[in-house]
Structure 1
Amino acid sequence: MHRDMQTDKWIAVCDLAEIVPNTGVCALLNEVQVAVFHLDDNGTPRVFAIENYDPNSQAAVLSRGLVGSLGERIVVASPIYKQHFDLQTGECLEAPENSVGTYPARIAEGKVWVGV
């Protein structure tokens, strides 16, 4: 369920410095939990946002997962059953039918912004 959103509405989630590099946090945006990840790519910060709800475990836990890579893909491993979710597409690598939606994310003025 990849959501490729074009958006005119961006919400500031927090200062980039508030998210430890290579980890995630949960943000409540329009009553939906969104997992927001800050990656440090050799000194260049990048941010990603996906749905926080893990359909495999039926729990809102993806923001607490471990961030890493599988081949060329940047992923988060769910903290419960360890399925991997691609941070760019939301695809669940082990069970594509349980993929999650993605949100546009960017860094501007030292803050993390997510498009809704």
Structure 2
Amino acid sequence: MNEQWRAVCRLDDIEPETGVGVRLPGRRQAALFRTRDDRLFALDNHDPFSHANVLARGLLGSLQGRRVVASPIYKQHFCLDTGQCLEDEGVRLSVYPVRVSQGQVELRVEPSP
């Protein structure tokens, strides 16, 4: 798989305990989250239950010992580390590696075809 790092925003653009939606190659979107302790997580922004790109607007928290985001529509919880839905083990979102380079947040993604 040919992956590349892509700058998506500045770290200062994300307030702690919030998320932002970012565009990826191929009309995809990621939900990028910054926790209170400045950890960054990125997963698909597309909520598979409501079929809307809304997960970046979800609430961060913890459930069953895992860091999660709760979908703002139907409230399913997705693990920030794995993308696994806690209410439906058959549903898992893609997770993207995240890094910060010179104040820019970068995601590792597959290039668009």
TM-score, shorter chain, exceeding 0.5: yes
State the 1:73 CA deviation: 0.8
Does 2:34 correspond to 1:38? yes
Counterpart residue number, 1:27? 22
SS in 2 for 1:34: strand
TM-score (normalizing by structure 1): 0.87
CA spacing shift, 1:47–1:86, aligned 2, 3 Å: same
Q: Which residue does the alignment assign to 1:64?
A: 57
The runs of at least 4 consecutive aligned structure 1 residues that moved more than 2 Å come to none
2:74 equivalent in structure 1:
81
Number of aligned positions between the proteins: 108
Residue of 73, 83, 87 corresponding to 1:90: 83
Q: Does residue 49 of structure 1 match 2:42? A: yes
Partner SS for 2:16: coil
Could you say what secondary structure the match of 1:82 adopts? coil
TM-score normalised per structure 2: 0.89
Check 1:109–1:7 CA distance in 2 against 1; reply closer, same or farther (3 A cut): farther
Q: CA RMSD in A?
A: 1.4
Gaps of 5+ in 1: 1-5
Pair 111,68 (structure 1): closer, same or farther in 2 beyond 3 Å: same
- Aligned partners of 2:58 and 2:94: how far apart in 1? 16
Q: Structure 1 residue 48: deviation in Å?
A: 0.6
1:98 counterpart SS class: coil
Q: Percent identity?
A: 51
Whole-Å separation in 2 of the counterparts to 1:110 and 1:96: 36
